[in-house]
A and B are shown apart, each in its own frame.
Chain A
Amino acid sequence: MDLHFSAAALIQVSYLLTAFLFIMGLKRMSSPVTARSGILWAGAGMLVATLATFFYPGMTNYPWIIAAVAVGGGFAWVTGRRVAMTDMPQMIALYNGMGGGAAAAIAAVELYRGGEVTRAGATLAVVGGIIGAVSFSGSLIAFGKLQGLIRKSLRFGGQQLLNVLILAGALLLGALIAGGYDDAAGVVTGLFVLSLLLGLSMTLPIGGADMPVVISLYNALTGLAVAFEGFVLGNAAMIIAGTVVGSAGTLLTQLMARAMNRSLGNVLFSGFGDTGGASASSEVKGSLKPIEAADAGVMMAFAQKIIIVPGYGMAVAQAQHKVWELCQLLIDRGVTVRFAIHPVAGRMPGHMNVLLAEAGVPYDLIADLDEINAEFDTADVALIIGANDVVNPVARNDKSSPIYGMPILNADKAKNVIVIKRGQGAGFSGIENALFYLDNTRMLYGDGQAAVSALIAAVKSV
Protein backbone atom coordinates (compact mmCIF):
# COMPACT_ATOMS: atom_id res chain seq x y z
CA MET A 1 0.00 0.00 0.00
CA ASP A 2 2.72 2.37 1.08
CA LEU A 3 4.81 1.33 -1.89
CA HIS A 4 1.85 1.90 -4.22
CA PHE A 5 1.31 5.35 -2.81
CA SER A 6 4.88 6.44 -3.43
CA ALA A 7 4.87 4.95 -6.93
CA ALA A 8 1.67 6.86 -7.67
CA ALA A 9 3.20 10.07 -6.33
CA LEU A 10 6.32 9.55 -8.43
CA ILE A 11 4.15 9.07 -11.50
CA GLN A 12 2.10 12.21 -10.80
CA VAL A 13 5.27 14.29 -10.37
CA SER A 14 6.72 12.82 -13.56
CA TYR A 15 3.56 13.67 -15.51
CA LEU A 16 3.66 17.21 -14.16
CA LEU A 17 7.25 17.52 -15.31
CA THR A 18 6.25 16.08 -18.70
CA ALA A 19 3.46 18.62 -19.15
CA PHE A 20 5.94 21.41 -18.34
CA LEU A 21 8.52 20.05 -20.79
CA PHE A 22 5.92 19.65 -23.57
CA ILE A 23 4.62 23.19 -23.27
CA MET A 24 8.11 24.69 -23.04
CA GLY A 25 9.16 22.52 -25.96
CA LEU A 26 6.29 23.69 -28.15
CA LYS A 27 7.01 27.28 -27.17
CA ARG A 28 10.66 26.93 -28.14
CA MET A 29 9.61 25.32 -31.43
CA SER A 30 7.82 28.53 -32.34
CA SER A 31 11.06 30.38 -33.16
CA PRO A 32 13.67 29.19 -35.67
CA VAL A 33 16.47 30.10 -33.25
CA THR A 34 15.31 27.83 -30.44
CA ALA A 35 13.27 25.29 -32.44
CA ARG A 36 15.91 22.57 -32.35
CA SER A 37 16.08 22.64 -28.56
CA GLY A 38 12.26 22.62 -28.41
CA ILE A 39 11.98 19.10 -29.77
CA LEU A 40 14.71 17.96 -27.36
CA TRP A 41 12.71 19.36 -24.41
CA ALA A 42 9.55 17.68 -25.61
CA GLY A 43 11.47 14.45 -26.24
CA ALA A 44 12.80 14.51 -22.67
CA GLY A 45 9.23 14.93 -21.44
CA MET A 46 8.09 11.90 -23.40
CA LEU A 47 10.95 9.82 -22.02
CA VAL A 48 10.16 10.82 -18.42
CA ALA A 49 6.47 9.98 -18.77
CA THR A 50 7.10 6.66 -20.51
CA LEU A 51 9.66 5.47 -17.95
CA ALA A 52 7.46 6.53 -15.02
CA THR A 53 4.50 4.61 -16.47
CA PHE A 54 6.42 1.33 -16.12
CA PHE A 55 6.00 1.78 -12.33
CA TYR A 56 2.21 2.24 -12.59
CA PRO A 57 0.57 0.38 -9.68
CA GLY A 58 -0.94 -2.95 -10.69
CA MET A 59 0.64 -3.14 -14.14
CA THR A 60 0.96 -6.56 -15.74
CA ASN A 61 1.68 -7.85 -19.26
CA TYR A 62 5.17 -6.33 -19.29
CA PRO A 63 6.47 -8.66 -22.04
CA TRP A 64 3.62 -7.56 -24.32
CA ILE A 65 4.24 -3.89 -23.57
CA ILE A 66 7.96 -4.08 -24.18
CA ALA A 67 7.53 -6.09 -27.38
CA ALA A 68 4.92 -3.67 -28.73
CA VAL A 69 7.05 -0.61 -27.90
CA ALA A 70 10.07 -2.22 -29.54
CA VAL A 71 8.21 -3.16 -32.74
CA GLY A 72 6.18 0.06 -33.12
CA GLY A 73 9.05 2.30 -32.08
CA GLY A 74 11.59 0.44 -34.18
CA PHE A 75 9.45 0.64 -37.30
CA ALA A 76 8.83 4.36 -36.79
CA TRP A 77 12.48 5.14 -36.02
CA VAL A 78 13.75 3.44 -39.17
CA THR A 79 11.10 4.96 -41.44
CA GLY A 80 11.39 8.38 -39.79
CA ARG A 81 15.16 8.49 -40.25
CA ARG A 82 15.04 7.33 -43.87
CA VAL A 83 12.12 9.25 -45.34
CA ALA A 84 13.01 11.91 -47.90
CA MET A 85 12.17 15.47 -46.92
CA THR A 86 9.77 15.70 -49.85
CA ASP A 87 7.72 12.85 -48.38
CA MET A 88 7.48 14.43 -44.94
CA PRO A 89 3.76 15.36 -45.11
CA GLN A 90 2.58 11.81 -45.64
CA MET A 91 4.86 10.50 -42.89
CA ILE A 92 3.36 13.01 -40.47
CA ALA A 93 -0.05 11.75 -41.57
CA LEU A 94 1.01 8.16 -40.97
CA TYR A 95 2.40 8.77 -37.46
CA ASN A 96 -0.61 10.89 -36.62
CA GLY A 97 -2.94 8.13 -37.74
CA MET A 98 -1.07 5.72 -35.49
CA GLY A 99 -1.71 8.04 -32.53
CA GLY A 100 -5.40 8.20 -33.37
CA GLY A 101 -5.51 4.43 -33.64
CA ALA A 102 -3.86 4.13 -30.23
CA ALA A 103 -6.46 6.43 -28.67
CA ALA A 104 -9.20 4.33 -30.26
CA ALA A 105 -7.52 1.16 -28.94
CA ILE A 106 -7.53 2.56 -25.39
CA ALA A 107 -11.24 3.32 -25.76
CA ALA A 108 -11.85 -0.19 -27.10
CA VAL A 109 -10.06 -1.85 -24.17
CA GLU A 110 -12.04 0.24 -21.69
CA LEU A 111 -15.38 -0.29 -23.43
CA TYR A 112 -15.01 -4.04 -24.02
CA ARG A 113 -14.13 -4.40 -20.35
CA GLY A 114 -17.22 -2.37 -19.43
CA GLY A 115 -18.67 -2.41 -15.92
CA GLU A 116 -16.29 -0.29 -13.94
CA VAL A 117 -16.47 2.89 -16.04
CA THR A 118 -18.84 5.64 -14.94
CA ARG A 119 -21.48 7.18 -17.22
CA ALA A 120 -19.31 10.24 -17.89
CA GLY A 121 -16.25 8.04 -18.37
CA ALA A 122 -18.06 5.80 -20.85
CA THR A 123 -19.31 8.83 -22.80
CA LEU A 124 -15.82 10.31 -23.04
CA ALA A 125 -14.37 6.94 -24.00
CA VAL A 126 -16.97 6.66 -26.78
CA VAL A 127 -16.36 10.18 -28.14
CA GLY A 128 -12.59 9.77 -27.95
CA GLY A 129 -12.90 6.38 -29.58
CA ILE A 130 -14.94 7.71 -32.51
CA ILE A 131 -12.57 10.65 -33.06
CA GLY A 132 -9.48 8.47 -32.73
CA ALA A 133 -10.80 5.87 -35.17
CA VAL A 134 -11.81 8.53 -37.71
CA SER A 135 -8.35 10.10 -37.41
CA PHE A 136 -6.75 6.67 -37.83
CA SER A 137 -8.51 5.58 -41.02
CA GLY A 138 -8.64 9.13 -42.41
CA SER A 139 -4.91 9.68 -41.90
CA LEU A 140 -4.12 6.37 -43.57
CA ILE A 141 -6.11 7.50 -46.63
CA ALA A 142 -4.26 10.84 -46.56
CA PHE A 143 -0.98 8.93 -46.41
CA GLY A 144 -2.07 6.70 -49.31
CA LYS A 145 -3.05 9.68 -51.44
CA LEU A 146 0.14 11.68 -50.90
CA GLN A 147 2.27 8.57 -51.30
CA GLY A 148 0.56 7.95 -54.64
CA LEU A 149 -0.98 4.65 -53.53
CA ILE A 150 -4.51 6.02 -53.99
CA ARG A 151 -4.83 8.07 -57.14
CA LYS A 152 -8.56 8.45 -57.54
CA SER A 153 -10.88 10.59 -55.48
CA LEU A 154 -14.02 8.58 -54.87
CA ARG A 155 -17.06 10.79 -55.31
CA PHE A 156 -20.71 10.03 -55.80
CA GLY A 157 -24.06 11.69 -55.26
CA GLY A 158 -25.38 11.64 -51.71
CA GLN A 159 -21.91 11.20 -50.28
CA GLN A 160 -22.43 13.82 -47.60
CA LEU A 161 -25.73 12.15 -46.70
CA LEU A 162 -23.95 8.82 -46.36
CA ASN A 163 -21.35 10.39 -44.05
CA VAL A 164 -24.08 11.90 -41.90
CA LEU A 165 -25.84 8.52 -41.71
CA ILE A 166 -22.64 6.73 -40.68
CA LEU A 167 -21.96 9.37 -38.05
CA ALA A 168 -25.53 9.13 -36.76
CA GLY A 169 -25.20 5.34 -36.57
CA ALA A 170 -21.94 5.62 -34.62
CA LEU A 171 -23.44 8.16 -32.24
CA LEU A 172 -26.50 5.94 -31.69
CA LEU A 173 -24.34 2.94 -30.81
CA GLY A 174 -22.21 5.20 -28.61
CA ALA A 175 -25.30 6.43 -26.78
CA LEU A 176 -26.35 2.82 -26.19
CA ILE A 177 -22.95 2.04 -24.66
CA ALA A 178 -22.86 5.19 -22.53
CA GLY A 179 -26.42 4.49 -21.44
CA GLY A 180 -25.27 1.20 -19.94
CA TYR A 181 -26.76 -1.16 -22.54
CA ASP A 182 -26.13 -4.75 -21.45
CA ASP A 183 -24.16 -7.22 -23.54
CA ALA A 184 -22.31 -4.36 -25.18
CA ALA A 185 -19.49 -6.24 -26.98
CA GLY A 186 -21.33 -6.39 -30.31
CA VAL A 187 -22.33 -2.75 -30.00
CA VAL A 188 -18.74 -1.72 -29.23
CA THR A 189 -17.52 -3.57 -32.32
CA GLY A 190 -20.21 -1.86 -34.41
CA LEU A 191 -19.17 1.53 -33.03
CA PHE A 192 -15.57 1.11 -34.11
CA VAL A 193 -16.44 -0.36 -37.52
CA LEU A 194 -18.69 2.61 -38.27
CA SER A 195 -16.09 5.11 -36.99
CA LEU A 196 -13.37 3.61 -39.16
CA LEU A 197 -15.74 3.69 -42.14
CA LEU A 198 -16.51 7.34 -41.46
CA GLY A 199 -12.81 8.24 -41.63
CA LEU A 200 -12.54 6.46 -44.99
CA SER A 201 -15.63 7.98 -46.55
CA MET A 202 -14.81 11.48 -45.27
CA THR A 203 -11.28 11.46 -46.65
CA LEU A 204 -11.58 9.54 -49.94
CA PRO A 205 -13.35 12.38 -51.83
CA ILE A 206 -10.76 15.02 -50.83
CA GLY A 207 -8.14 15.83 -53.45
CA GLY A 208 -4.38 15.76 -52.96
CA ALA A 209 -3.98 19.55 -52.95
CA ASP A 210 -6.21 19.88 -49.90
CA MET A 211 -4.54 17.04 -48.00
CA PRO A 212 -2.28 19.27 -45.82
CA VAL A 213 -5.32 20.93 -44.29
CA VAL A 214 -6.88 17.51 -43.73
CA ILE A 215 -3.73 16.13 -42.11
CA SER A 216 -3.56 19.16 -39.85
CA LEU A 217 -7.22 18.66 -38.91
CA TYR A 218 -6.67 14.99 -38.08
CA ASN A 219 -3.64 16.01 -36.04
CA ALA A 220 -5.88 18.26 -33.94
CA LEU A 221 -8.52 15.52 -33.73
CA THR A 222 -6.00 12.96 -32.51
CA GLY A 223 -4.98 15.44 -29.81
CA LEU A 224 -8.61 15.71 -28.71
CA ALA A 225 -9.07 11.94 -28.73
CA VAL A 226 -5.95 11.57 -26.58
CA ALA A 227 -7.29 14.20 -24.15
CA PHE A 228 -10.65 12.38 -23.88
CA GLU A 229 -9.00 9.04 -23.22
CA GLY A 230 -6.86 10.89 -20.66
CA PHE A 231 -10.06 11.84 -18.84
CA VAL A 232 -11.16 8.20 -18.91
CA LEU A 233 -7.86 7.00 -17.45
CA GLY A 234 -7.51 9.94 -15.04
CA ASN A 235 -4.19 10.75 -16.69
CA ALA A 236 -3.33 14.47 -16.43
CA ALA A 237 -0.36 14.28 -18.83
CA MET A 238 -2.64 12.94 -21.58
CA ILE A 239 -5.33 15.54 -20.88
CA ILE A 240 -2.89 18.44 -21.00
CA ALA A 241 -0.79 17.29 -23.96
CA GLY A 242 -3.85 16.16 -25.93
CA THR A 243 -5.73 19.39 -25.33
CA VAL A 244 -2.74 21.59 -26.12
CA VAL A 245 -2.34 19.77 -29.44
CA GLY A 246 -6.09 19.86 -30.04
CA SER A 247 -6.28 23.64 -29.73
CA ALA A 248 -2.92 24.37 -31.36
CA GLY A 249 -3.78 22.02 -34.21
CA THR A 250 -7.14 23.68 -34.74
CA LEU A 251 -5.46 27.07 -35.01
CA LEU A 252 -2.82 25.67 -37.36
CA THR A 253 -5.54 24.13 -39.52
CA GLN A 254 -7.29 27.48 -39.80
CA LEU A 255 -4.04 29.24 -40.68
CA MET A 256 -3.35 26.71 -43.43
CA ALA A 257 -6.86 26.85 -44.84
CA ARG A 258 -6.68 30.65 -44.87
CA ALA A 259 -3.31 30.60 -46.61
CA MET A 260 -4.87 28.43 -49.32
CA ASN A 261 -7.89 30.73 -49.54
CA ARG A 262 -10.16 27.86 -48.58
CA SER A 263 -12.53 27.52 -45.70
CA LEU A 264 -12.34 24.35 -43.71
CA GLY A 265 -15.92 23.48 -44.62
CA ASN A 266 -15.02 23.94 -48.26
CA VAL A 267 -12.10 21.54 -47.98
CA LEU A 268 -14.16 18.86 -46.27
CA PHE A 269 -17.37 19.14 -48.22
CA SER A 270 -16.41 20.00 -51.78
CA GLY A 271 -13.86 18.57 -54.13
CA PHE A 272 -11.62 21.29 -55.54
CA GLY A 273 -8.40 19.55 -54.54
CA ASP A 274 -7.89 17.93 -57.92
CA THR A 275 -10.34 19.45 -60.36
CA GLY A 276 -9.71 18.27 -63.89
CA GLY A 277 -9.20 21.82 -65.11
CA ALA A 278 -12.59 22.07 -66.74
CA SER A 279 -12.64 25.85 -66.54
CA ALA A 280 -11.13 28.86 -68.27
CA SER A 281 -7.99 27.79 -70.04
CA SER A 282 -8.22 29.25 -73.52
CA GLU A 283 -8.47 32.94 -72.63
CA VAL A 284 -4.76 33.54 -72.24
CA LYS A 285 -3.25 35.74 -74.97
CA GLY A 286 0.31 35.95 -76.18
CA SER A 287 2.94 33.30 -76.72
CA LEU A 288 5.52 31.38 -74.74
CA LYS A 289 8.99 32.80 -75.36
CA PRO A 290 11.85 30.39 -74.73
CA ILE A 291 15.32 31.44 -73.53
CA GLU A 292 18.67 29.65 -73.54
CA ALA A 293 20.37 28.94 -70.21
CA ALA A 294 23.46 30.91 -71.31
CA ASP A 295 21.40 34.08 -71.87
CA ALA A 296 19.45 33.61 -68.67
CA GLY A 297 22.70 33.12 -66.75
CA VAL A 298 24.13 36.39 -68.08
CA MET A 299 20.92 38.19 -67.19
CA MET A 300 21.14 36.90 -63.64
CA ALA A 301 24.87 37.51 -63.23
CA PHE A 302 24.44 41.21 -63.98
CA ALA A 303 21.28 41.68 -61.95
CA GLN A 304 21.18 43.71 -58.75
CA LYS A 305 18.45 41.74 -57.11
CA ILE A 306 16.97 38.34 -57.80
CA ILE A 307 13.96 36.76 -56.16
CA ILE A 308 13.65 33.00 -56.47
CA VAL A 309 10.20 31.45 -56.29
CA PRO A 310 10.55 27.73 -55.63
CA GLY A 311 7.68 25.28 -55.88
CA TYR A 312 7.13 21.62 -55.29
CA GLY A 313 8.47 20.86 -58.76
CA MET A 314 11.92 21.99 -57.61
CA ALA A 315 11.83 19.47 -54.79
CA VAL A 316 10.60 16.69 -57.06
CA ALA A 317 13.53 17.37 -59.39
CA GLN A 318 15.83 17.42 -56.30
CA ALA A 319 17.16 20.73 -57.59
CA GLN A 320 17.33 22.61 -54.26
CA HIS A 321 21.03 21.90 -53.73
CA LYS A 322 21.86 23.19 -57.22
CA VAL A 323 19.68 26.23 -56.63
CA TRP A 324 21.60 27.07 -53.48
CA GLU A 325 24.90 26.59 -55.34
CA LEU A 326 23.66 29.05 -57.96
CA CYS A 327 22.64 31.50 -55.23
CA GLN A 328 26.04 31.36 -53.57
CA LEU A 329 27.71 32.17 -56.91
CA LEU A 330 25.38 35.12 -57.41
CA ILE A 331 25.78 36.35 -53.83
CA ASP A 332 29.54 36.28 -54.27
CA ARG A 333 29.09 38.48 -57.35
CA GLY A 334 27.25 40.97 -55.16
CA VAL A 335 23.74 40.10 -56.29
CA THR A 336 21.04 40.31 -53.64
CA VAL A 337 19.22 36.99 -53.58
CA ARG A 338 16.02 36.21 -51.72
CA PHE A 339 13.63 33.30 -51.70
CA ALA A 340 9.90 33.96 -51.84
CA ILE A 341 7.82 31.22 -50.30
CA HIS A 342 4.12 30.95 -50.87
CA PRO A 343 2.23 29.49 -47.90
CA VAL A 344 1.31 26.44 -49.95
CA ALA A 345 4.62 25.99 -51.73
CA GLY A 346 5.59 22.40 -51.19
CA ARG A 347 2.84 20.24 -49.90
CA MET A 348 1.99 22.03 -46.71
CA PRO A 349 2.78 25.43 -45.21
CA GLY A 350 6.42 25.50 -44.21
CA HIS A 351 7.33 22.39 -46.21
CA MET A 352 9.36 24.38 -48.74
CA ASN A 353 11.32 25.98 -45.91
CA VAL A 354 12.28 22.52 -44.72
CA LEU A 355 13.39 21.52 -48.21
CA LEU A 356 15.49 24.67 -48.59
CA ALA A 357 16.93 24.25 -45.12
CA GLU A 358 17.96 20.73 -46.11
CA ALA A 359 19.96 22.21 -49.00
CA GLY A 360 21.65 24.61 -46.58
CA VAL A 361 19.78 27.82 -47.41
CA PRO A 362 19.85 30.05 -44.30
CA TYR A 363 16.35 30.90 -43.11
CA ASP A 364 16.96 34.65 -43.08
CA LEU A 365 17.22 34.67 -46.91
CA ILE A 366 13.72 33.20 -47.04
CA ALA A 367 10.73 35.51 -46.99
CA ASP A 368 7.04 34.72 -46.89
CA LEU A 369 4.36 36.23 -49.07
CA ASP A 370 3.57 39.31 -46.97
CA GLU A 371 7.21 40.23 -46.57
CA ILE A 372 8.32 39.81 -50.16
CA ASN A 373 5.41 40.91 -52.31
CA ALA A 374 6.30 44.60 -52.24
CA GLU A 375 9.87 43.76 -53.27
CA PHE A 376 9.12 42.25 -56.68
CA ASP A 377 8.85 45.80 -58.10
CA THR A 378 12.53 46.35 -57.37
CA ALA A 379 13.73 42.92 -58.52
CA ASP A 380 15.59 42.60 -61.80
CA VAL A 381 14.84 38.91 -62.15
CA ALA A 382 12.22 36.65 -60.67
CA LEU A 383 13.32 33.05 -61.14
CA ILE A 384 10.36 30.66 -60.99
CA ILE A 385 11.33 27.06 -60.49
CA GLY A 386 8.69 24.41 -60.13
CA ALA A 387 6.01 26.86 -59.00
CA ASN A 388 2.91 27.53 -61.07
CA ASP A 389 -0.49 28.39 -59.60
CA VAL A 390 1.02 30.48 -56.79
CA VAL A 391 2.41 33.01 -59.31
CA ASN A 392 -0.57 33.03 -61.66
CA PRO A 393 -1.85 36.63 -61.93
CA VAL A 394 -5.22 35.24 -62.98
CA ALA A 395 -5.91 34.80 -59.27
CA ARG A 396 -5.91 38.61 -58.93
CA ASN A 397 -8.29 39.63 -61.67
CA ASP A 398 -10.15 36.76 -63.35
CA LYS A 399 -13.29 36.12 -61.37
CA SER A 400 -14.15 33.04 -63.40
CA SER A 401 -10.96 31.26 -62.41
CA PRO A 402 -11.17 28.61 -59.69
CA ILE A 403 -8.11 30.13 -58.04
CA TYR A 404 -9.55 33.67 -58.09
CA GLY A 405 -8.86 35.38 -54.78
CA MET A 406 -6.02 33.08 -53.77
CA PRO A 407 -3.11 35.20 -52.48
CA ILE A 408 -0.27 34.97 -55.00
CA LEU A 409 3.35 36.05 -55.22
CA ASN A 410 3.60 39.12 -57.47
CA ALA A 411 6.35 37.65 -59.65
CA ASP A 412 4.85 39.38 -62.71
CA LYS A 413 5.92 42.76 -61.23
CA ALA A 414 9.61 41.92 -61.60
CA LYS A 415 11.51 43.47 -64.56
CA ASN A 416 12.26 40.03 -65.98
CA VAL A 417 10.74 36.67 -65.20
CA ILE A 418 12.50 33.41 -65.94
CA VAL A 419 10.43 30.29 -65.61
CA ILE A 420 12.15 26.91 -65.40
CA LYS A 421 9.67 24.32 -66.56
CA ARG A 422 9.80 20.79 -67.85
CA GLY A 423 7.18 21.24 -70.55
CA GLN A 424 4.16 23.28 -71.48
CA GLY A 425 1.60 21.61 -69.19
CA ALA A 426 -0.71 23.44 -66.82
CA GLY A 427 -0.37 23.55 -63.01
CA PHE A 428 -1.57 21.28 -60.23
CA SER A 429 -5.06 22.70 -60.56
CA GLY A 430 -4.99 22.39 -64.35
CA ILE A 431 -5.23 26.13 -64.93
CA GLU A 432 -3.28 27.92 -67.68
CA ASN A 433 -0.75 30.37 -66.22
CA ALA A 434 -1.03 33.92 -67.60
CA LEU A 435 2.39 34.79 -66.16
CA PHE A 436 4.11 32.55 -68.71
CA TYR A 437 2.67 34.59 -71.59
CA LEU A 438 3.72 38.05 -70.37
CA ASP A 439 6.12 40.17 -72.44
CA ASN A 440 8.77 40.17 -69.70
CA THR A 441 8.63 36.39 -69.20
CA ARG A 442 11.07 33.90 -70.72
CA MET A 443 10.69 30.12 -70.49
CA LEU A 444 13.73 28.01 -69.72
CA TYR A 445 12.65 24.49 -70.62
CA GLY A 446 14.17 21.44 -69.06
CA ASP A 447 14.44 19.29 -65.97
CA GLY A 448 14.89 21.48 -62.89
CA GLN A 449 18.25 20.11 -61.89
CA ALA A 450 19.70 20.17 -65.42
CA ALA A 451 18.41 23.69 -66.07
CA VAL A 452 19.91 25.07 -62.87
CA SER A 453 23.20 23.31 -63.59
CA ALA A 454 23.24 25.03 -66.97
CA LEU A 455 22.58 28.36 -65.25
CA ILE A 456 25.47 27.73 -62.86
CA ALA A 457 27.78 27.04 -65.81
CA ALA A 458 26.55 30.21 -67.52
CA VAL A 459 27.12 32.40 -64.46
CA LYS A 460 30.58 30.91 -63.92
CA SER A 461 31.59 31.68 -67.50
CA VAL A 462 30.65 35.35 -67.26
Chain B
Amino acid sequence: MTGIVALYIFMLAAFTGYEVIARVPVILHTPLMSGSNFVHGIVLVGAMVALGSATTTLEKVIGTIGVLLAAGNAVGGYAVTERMLEMFKSSGSRAGGSRGKH
Protein backbone atom coordinates (compact mmCIF):
# COMPACT_ATOMS: atom_id res chain seq x y z
CA MET B 1 0.00 0.00 0.00
CA THR B 2 1.54 3.31 -1.02
CA GLY B 3 1.63 6.24 1.36
CA ILE B 4 -0.85 8.35 -0.56
CA VAL B 5 -3.40 5.55 -0.78
CA ALA B 6 -3.04 5.06 2.97
CA LEU B 7 -3.70 8.76 3.46
CA TYR B 8 -6.85 8.55 1.33
CA ILE B 9 -8.06 5.65 3.44
CA PHE B 10 -7.25 7.62 6.59
CA MET B 11 -9.16 10.69 5.44
CA LEU B 12 -12.24 8.82 4.23
CA ALA B 13 -12.36 6.69 7.36
CA ALA B 14 -12.15 9.82 9.52
CA PHE B 15 -15.18 11.33 7.76
CA THR B 16 -17.02 8.04 8.02
CA GLY B 17 -16.45 7.81 11.77
CA TYR B 18 -17.67 11.34 12.28
CA GLU B 19 -20.80 10.88 10.16
CA VAL B 20 -21.75 7.53 11.66
CA ILE B 21 -21.61 8.90 15.20
CA ALA B 22 -23.10 12.32 14.51
CA ARG B 23 -26.70 11.03 14.65
CA VAL B 24 -26.40 9.03 17.85
CA PRO B 25 -28.93 9.82 20.62
CA VAL B 26 -27.49 10.51 24.09
CA ILE B 27 -29.12 7.39 25.50
CA LEU B 28 -26.71 5.28 23.47
CA HIS B 29 -23.51 7.15 24.31
CA THR B 30 -22.21 4.64 26.83
CA PRO B 31 -22.89 1.52 24.72
CA LEU B 32 -21.54 3.32 21.70
CA MET B 33 -18.32 4.27 23.45
CA SER B 34 -18.07 0.66 24.49
CA GLY B 35 -18.86 -0.47 20.93
CA SER B 36 -16.19 1.76 19.41
CA ASN B 37 -13.84 0.49 22.11
CA PHE B 38 -14.59 -3.01 20.82
CA VAL B 39 -13.95 -1.97 17.21
CA HIS B 40 -10.40 -0.82 17.91
CA GLY B 41 -9.89 -4.31 19.31
CA ILE B 42 -8.96 -5.00 15.66
CA VAL B 43 -5.49 -4.22 17.01
CA LEU B 44 -5.58 -7.96 17.72
CA VAL B 45 -4.79 -8.79 14.09
CA GLY B 46 -1.80 -6.45 14.15
CA ALA B 47 -0.56 -7.91 17.43
CA MET B 48 -0.91 -11.42 15.96
CA VAL B 49 1.15 -10.40 12.92
CA ALA B 50 3.77 -8.75 15.13
CA LEU B 51 4.08 -11.83 17.35
CA GLY B 52 3.90 -14.12 14.31
CA SER B 53 6.99 -12.46 12.86
CA ALA B 54 8.90 -12.14 16.16
CA THR B 55 12.31 -13.83 16.27
CA THR B 56 14.20 -12.72 19.39
CA THR B 57 13.01 -13.56 22.89
CA LEU B 58 12.39 -9.88 23.62
CA GLU B 59 10.17 -9.54 20.54
CA LYS B 60 8.31 -12.71 21.47
CA VAL B 61 7.67 -11.56 25.04
CA ILE B 62 6.45 -8.12 23.98
CA GLY B 63 4.45 -9.65 21.13
CA THR B 64 2.77 -12.09 23.50
CA ILE B 65 1.86 -9.28 25.88
CA GLY B 66 0.48 -7.39 22.89
CA VAL B 67 -1.72 -10.26 21.74
CA LEU B 68 -2.90 -10.88 25.29
CA LEU B 69 -3.89 -7.24 25.77
CA ALA B 70 -5.47 -7.01 22.32
CA ALA B 71 -7.54 -10.14 22.88
CA GLY B 72 -8.71 -8.60 26.16
CA ASN B 73 -9.74 -5.43 24.34
CA ALA B 74 -11.67 -7.29 21.65
CA VAL B 75 -13.36 -9.92 23.82
CA GLY B 76 -14.06 -7.64 26.79
CA GLY B 77 -15.36 -4.89 24.54
CA TYR B 78 -17.74 -7.31 22.87
CA ALA B 79 -18.93 -8.89 26.12
CA VAL B 80 -19.89 -5.62 27.82
CA THR B 81 -21.34 -3.94 24.73
CA GLU B 82 -23.52 -6.91 23.92
CA ARG B 83 -24.75 -7.07 27.51
CA MET B 84 -25.72 -3.41 27.51
CA LEU B 85 -27.43 -3.38 24.13
CA GLU B 86 -29.33 -6.57 24.84
CA MET B 87 -31.28 -4.73 27.51
CA PHE B 88 -32.60 -1.88 25.36
CA LYS B 89 -36.28 -2.54 24.75
CA SER B 90 -39.20 -0.30 23.83
CA SER B 91 -42.52 -0.38 25.69
CA GLY B 92 -44.02 -1.80 22.48
CA SER B 93 -41.84 -4.88 22.65
CA ARG B 94 -42.52 -5.45 26.33
CA ALA B 95 -46.28 -4.93 26.11
CA GLY B 96 -46.92 -8.64 25.62
CA GLY B 97 -44.80 -9.62 28.59
CA SER B 98 -45.17 -7.43 31.63
CA ARG B 99 -48.51 -5.88 30.75
CA GLY B 100 -50.06 -9.30 30.37
CA LYS B 101 -49.47 -10.09 34.04
CA HIS B 102 -51.80 -7.42 35.35
A contact set with B: CB distance below 8 Å? 15, 18, 22-23, 25-27, 29-33, 35-36, 38-40, 42-43, 46, 49-50, 52-54, 56, 58-62, 64-65, 67-77, 79-81, 83, 85, 88-89, 91-92, 94-96, 98-99, 101-106, 108-110, 112-113, 120, 136, 215-216, 219, 222-223, 226-227, 229-231, 233-249, 251-252, 255-256, 259, 328, 332, 341, 343, 346, 348-351, 353-354, 357-358, 360, 362-366, 368
Is the contact region of chain A dominated by helix, strand, or loop, or is it mixed?
A: helix
Interface bits B26-48 vs A (CB < 8 Å: 1, else 0): 11111111111111111111111
Q: Measuring CB to CB, which residues of chain B are less than 8 angstroms from any residue of chain A?
A: 1, 3, 6, 9-10, 13-18, 20-56, 58-60, 62-94, 98, 102
A49 touches B30 (CB 8 A): no
Q: Is the CB of A27 within 8 A of B48?
A: no
Asked if A223 and B36 sit within 8 Å, CB to CB, the answer is: yes
Q: Across the interface, do B71 and A68 meet the contact criterion of CB distance under 8 Å?
A: yes
Q: In the complex the two chains form, is A98's CB within 8 Å of B73's CB?
A: yes
B51, A243: Cβ atoms closer than 8 Å: no
Q: How far is the CA of A450 from the CA of B86 in the complex (A)?
A: 28
Q: Apart from A56-B48, A255-B26, what 7 extra A-B contacts exist at CB < 8 Å? A: A109-B53, A112-B58, A231-B10, A240-B13, A241-B39, A244-B13, A245-B40
Bound form: Cα–Cα A69–B47 in Å: 10
Is A252 in contact with B75, judged by CB distance below 8 angstroms?
no
Cβ distance A23 to chain B, nearest Cβ, rounded Å: 6
Query: Contact at B72–A95, with CB atoms within 8 Å?
Result: yes
Are A33 and B6 CB-contacts (below 8 A) given A98-B72, A106-B66, A256-B29? no
B contact residues around A70 at 8 Å (CB): 71
Given A80-B80, A350-B30, verify A99-B66 contact (CB < 8 Å).
no
A182 to B37 CA separation, bound complex (whole angstroms): 37
Q: Which residues does chain A contribute within 8 Å of B72, judged by CB atoms?
A: 72-73, 75-76, 95, 98
A-B contact pairs, 27 of them (CB 8 A): A30-B21, A30-B25, A31-B28, A32-B27, A36-B82, A36-B88, A42-B39, A72-B68, A76-B73, A91-B80, A92-B34, A92-B37, A95-B41, A95-B72, A95-B76, A96-B40, A98-B73, A108-B62, A222-B43, A243-B17, A246-B17, A251-B17, A252-B24, A350-B33, A364-B90, A365-B91, A368-B25
- B-side contacts of A74, CB under 8 Å: 75
- Chain A, residue nearest B27 (CB): A353
Main secondary structure of the interface of B (DSSP, over half): helix
Q: Which residue of B lies closest to A101 (CB)?
A: B69
Which 7 residue pairs of A and B lie closest in terms of their CB atoms, listed nearest first? A105-B66, A80-B79, A76-B76, A350-B29, A72-B71, A99-B73, A247-B17
* A140 nearest CB across to chain B (Å): 11
Could you tell me the distance in whole angstroms from the C-beta of B90 to the nearest C-beta in chain A? 5
A111 to chain B, nearest CB (A): 10
Give the complex CA separation of A91 and B43 in angstroms: 18
Given A92-B34, A99-B73, A243-B13 contact (CB < 8 Å)? yes
Tell which of B40, B67, B83 touches A81, judged by Cβ atoms closer than 8 Å: B83
Q: Is the CB of A80 within 8 A of B75?
A: yes
Bound: A75/B84 CA distance, A: 19
Chain B positions within 8 Å of A89 at CB level: 30
Q: Report the nearest A residue to B15, measured CB to CB.
A: A247
- In the complex, the answer to whether B36 meets A363 with C-beta atoms within 8 Å is no
A88, A99, A234, A256: which contacts B69 (Cβ < 8 A)? A99
B24 proximity list for chain A (CB < 8 A): 29-30, 252
Within the complex, the shortest CB–CB distance from A232 to chain B, in Å, comes to 8
Distance of A85 Cα from B31 Cα, bound (Å): 11
Q: Tell me if A29 and B31 are in contact (CB < 8 A).
A: yes
Question: In the complex, are the beta carbons of B73 and A96 less than 8 A apart?
Answer: yes
Q: For B36, give the chain A residue with the smallest CB separation.
A: A245
CB contact under 8 A between A332 and B41, given known A240-B13, A368-B27: no
Q: Known contacts A64-B63, A99-B73, A248-B21; decide if A362 and B42 are in contact (CB<8 Å).
A: no
